A and B are shown apart, each in its own frame.
Chain A
């Protein structure tokens, strides 16, 4: 059974810092890995999708990497802003889709 873990559970940083969020998974037989953002009381917004054959994807200040063999992904956020404050979820897609519990990020002005 696929298990997805996100560390840390919460993170607070001052504005302008670069930061890394971690996601690990136990079964490397995946189709893809997706990073989502969730604002309080809202649905999920897809940030980046990495196919199993890819190593990384970039969108603006966000960069996600995937190391399938070690079961790890990282989401790198450059020059963080208060508007980046949200919960970040990773999800791996194998036979079904499994989510981590998320990292709650607070960026202080």
Chain B
């Protein structure tokens, strides 16, 4: 049981490039979410999904796209990277939406030049 996995661990992009951050979980969790963490701030919710085929926006969705074609995978796409998207990105999953503990991946550190 690997839990929540994220790839890559670290990535450098140039402004305007696109990329996909991968997230997978093997716990059959319905709820998955993406956060970004910036220095001195808490985690902020980017997008979330309550099940395959269903996604919704969080607090800071601009510049990011998501899709959920399977229960296991929840990729985050940066359409045209900007320096303001330099951050550490965390993926999380939980069995349900309201009452359950969230499990976090190890994070992806992204630097946009």
List chain A positions with a Cβ less than 8 A from chain B. Answer: 4, 31-32, 34, 36, 42-46, 49, 51, 89, 91, 93, 96-102
Per the CB 8 Å criterion, the residue count for chain B at the interface is 24
Closest CB in chain A relative to B46 CB, distance in Å: 11
Measured CB to CB, the nearest residue on chain B to A100 is B42
Interface of A is mostly: strand
B42 to chain A: which residues have CB within 8 Å? 4, 89, 91, 98-102
List chain B positions with a Cβ less than 8 A from chain A. Answer: 4, 33, 35, 40-45, 48, 58-59, 90, 92, 98-107
Which among A34, A42, A93, A99 is the interface contact of B106 at CB below 8 angstroms?
A42
Measured CB to CB, the nearest residue on chain A to B39 is A101
B90, A99: Cβ atoms closer than 8 Å = no
Q: Can you pick out 17 interface pairs between chain A and chain B where the beta carbons lie within 8 Å of each other?
A: A31-B99, A36-B104, A43-B4, A43-B105, A43-B106, A44-B92, A44-B104, A46-B101, A46-B102, A46-B103, A91-B43, A93-B98, A98-B59, A99-B44, A100-B42, A101-B40, A101-B41
B43, A43: Cβ atoms closer than 8 Å = no
Nearest 4 CB-CB pairings of A with B: A99-B42, A31-B98, A44-B104, A43-B104
A32, B98: Cβ atoms closer than 8 Å = yes
A4 to chain B: which residues have CB within 8 Å? 42
The complex places the Cα of A89 from the Cα of B106 at a distance, in Å, of 16
B105, A97: Cβ atoms closer than 8 Å = no
Closest CB in chain A relative to B24 CB, distance in Å: 14
With A4-B42, A102-B42: A97-B104 Cβ-Cβ less than 8 Å: no
